[in-house]
Amino acid sequence: MKQLKEYTNTKKNISFHKLSYLYKLCTTNNKNILNINKHKSSISNHQNTNSINVNNTNLNENSSSNINTNINNTSKLQAFKIRLYWGIILFFFSVLILLLGHLYLSLLVLILVTLVYNEIVSIKSSENKDKKLPQLFYIRWYWFFLTILTIGIPWAIPKLQQHKFFIFKYILKYHSINMFVLFIIGYIWFILSLRKYTLKYQFSQMGIILLTSLFVVTQYLMHIANIYSGLIWFFIPVSCVVINDTFAYIVGILFGRTKLINVSPNKTVEGFVGSSIITILWGLFATYVLQNYKFFICPQNNITFIPFYTLIHTDCEYSSIFEKQVYKVPIKLAVLLRFNKIYYTKMVIHGFVLSLFAAFLAPFGGFFASGFKRALKIKDFGTIIPGHGGVTDRLDCQIFIGMFTYIYMKTFVKVKNKVKYQYDLVIDSIQKMDSKEVLCLFNQLKTIIENKKEISKVEEQKT
């Protein structure tokens, strides 16, 4: 009886050890088995190949018993299963958030930004030094919120017009000086918190805080501005980057041979080229399909807290970029292709440009992040996502595309929802001017309008 008990106990122990070993494989930082993308399911190429290699080497190092080879096979299968499982969960989660409307998507972006900031800022922080400097924690978050306020307020307040709190007008008018005062408070706080023996550490932390706030937080906040200009301006860039990552990995596995760059030894040229082609095709396809749905293309001028708002109220002006235009194919090609007209809209061209950026320049963000990790000899930015490290690992390729989309929109696409705000701004400014300047302005406006009238008269005469 005793022997039986011992036997069952040892069996339990063995299975327990197996399970705990598997659990460790799945959850430790070093083993990048799982690959979870918060936006859409994506399989990051370099991380996965790294993980398989690391997995194998670790297992070989540990021991060479049967259990380990079995675990190897089962863990690979486990890995794929868990990846697929989490990928599907995240896919549905993101679709839900997308449907909820602009505000909730923006909140998701904000949460992700907070997590990214937290991860990056804690990279170089050392535990024992932080204990001596209790204020450093508050200083970090203070600067984070200051950045968000500085960038967010001038953008958000005009969108809250329907609430008509009169304090909003003053917040907007004195925005720069408010932010400057807060900046000075933060600056003095930092200087007063300098301690004799940790000076270098504090300065380098401050540098990291500043740089992260400036580069990372600002870029991701641009995504929020893009969301409010129309969901398509968020969906297309982000999905292109995700598709680029995924297919770079898949094509790399299938055909990969020549190394791409020293910084990321697991990337291949074939993967890069293949994924670029697929990304561009996806960009064109997605734009072409999605531009027909008002849900995606309507800009929102107000911030509302109602969930599923956009599904209910989809009504907006049809901007000119979505009008159908015709391109007459040259005759020689037409004979080949058997049709002589291609219908396209300007939006498709914009989608094409965005997907070009995602295909060729977004990977540099990934190289930068992996170089950064190698420089600091860390495997991952964080451990929030089990098996795959932190949020930054998933979002590193997206670093410039938010800003690029925003600037591109401002330059090449005239988005009409800005007009109301500009009008109020002009009226406001005129009221601030004194009379002589107003007279001068009036004369200049007169000449401009007279010129326009002449031009329109000439055009009328022509037709």
Partner 1 sequence: MTELRQRVAHEPDAPPEDKESESEAKVDGETASDSESRAESAPLPVSADDTPEVLNRALSNLSSRWKNWWVRGILTLAMIAFFFIIIYLGPMVLMIIVMCVQIKCFHEIITIGYNVYHSYDLPWFRTLSWYFLLCVNYFFYGETVTDYFFTLVQREEPLRILSKYHRFISFTLYLIGFCMFVLSLVKKHYRLQFYMFGWTHVTLLIVVTQSHLVIHNLFEGMIWFIVPISCVICNDIMAYMFGFFFGRTPLIKLSPKKTWEGFIGGFFATVVFGLLLSYVMSGYRCFVCPVEYNNDTNSFTVDCEPSDLFRLQEYNIPGVIQSVIGWKTVRMYPFQIHSIALSTFASLIGPFGGFFASGFKRAFKIKDFANTIPGHGGIMDRFDCQYLMATFVNVYIASFIRGPNPSKLIQQFLTLRPDQQLHIFNTLRSHLIDKGMLTSATEDE
Q: Does 277 bind partner 1 (CB under 8 A)?
A: no
3-state secondary structure of 343: strand
- Please tell me the distance from the alpha carbon of residue 204 to that of residue 380, in angstroms, as a whole number: 21
Shortest gap between Cβ of 282 and partner 1 (angstroms)?
22
Name residue 403's amino acid.
Answer: M
Q: Does 176 bind partner 1 (CB under 8 A)?
A: yes
Minimum CB distance to partner 1 smaller for 53 or for 444: 444
- Please tell me the distance from the alpha carbon of residue 28 to that of residue 235, in angstroms, as a whole number: 32
Shortest gap between Cβ of 232 and partner 1 (angstroms)?
20
> Residues of 443-458 as b/e, b for ≥16 C-beta within 10 angstroms?
eeeeeeeeeeeeeeee
> Which helix or strand (DSSP H or E) is residue 285 part of?
helix 269-290
- By CB under 8 A, the residues from 299 to 338 that bind partner 1 are none
Q: Which residues pair with 327 in a beta bridge?
A: 342
Handedness of CA 22, 26, 27, 29 (dihedral sign): positive
Number of residues that bind partner 1 (CB under 8 A): 69
| Per-residue mark of binding to partner 1, 231-270 (x: CB under 8 A) | ------------------------------xxx-------
Only one of the segments 38-46, 181-189, 333-341, 348-356 lies at the binding site for partner 1 (rule: CB under 8 A); that segment is 181-189
Shortest gap between Cβ of 32 and partner 1 (angstroms)?
20
Of 441, 105, 149, 130, give the one whose Cα is nearest residue 296. 105
Q: Does 455 bind partner 1 (CB under 8 A)?
A: no
Only one of the segments 62-70, 205-213, 225-233, 241-249 lies at the binding site for partner 1 (rule: CB under 8 A); that segment is 205-213
Minimum CB distance to partner 1 smaller for 16 or for 442: 442
- By CB under 8 A, the residues from 377 to 436 that bind partner 1 are 400, 403-404, 407-408, 410-412, 418-419, 422-423, 425-427, 429-430, 432-436
Of 383, 452, 362, give the one whose Cα is nearest residue 42. 362
Of 266, 224, 259, 262, give the one whose Cα is nearest residue 245. 266
> Which helix or strand (DSSP H or E) is residue 328 part of?
strand 324-328
CB 361 within 8 A of CB 322: no
User: Which residues in this chain contact partner 1 in the complex, by CB under 8 A?
Assistant: 173-174, 176-177, 180, 184, 187-188, 191-192, 194, 196, 199-200, 202-203, 207-208, 210-211, 214-215, 261-263, 361, 364, 367-368, 371-372, 374-376, 400, 403-404, 407-408, 410-412, 418-419, 422-423, 425-427, 429-430, 432-442, 444-446, 448-450, 452
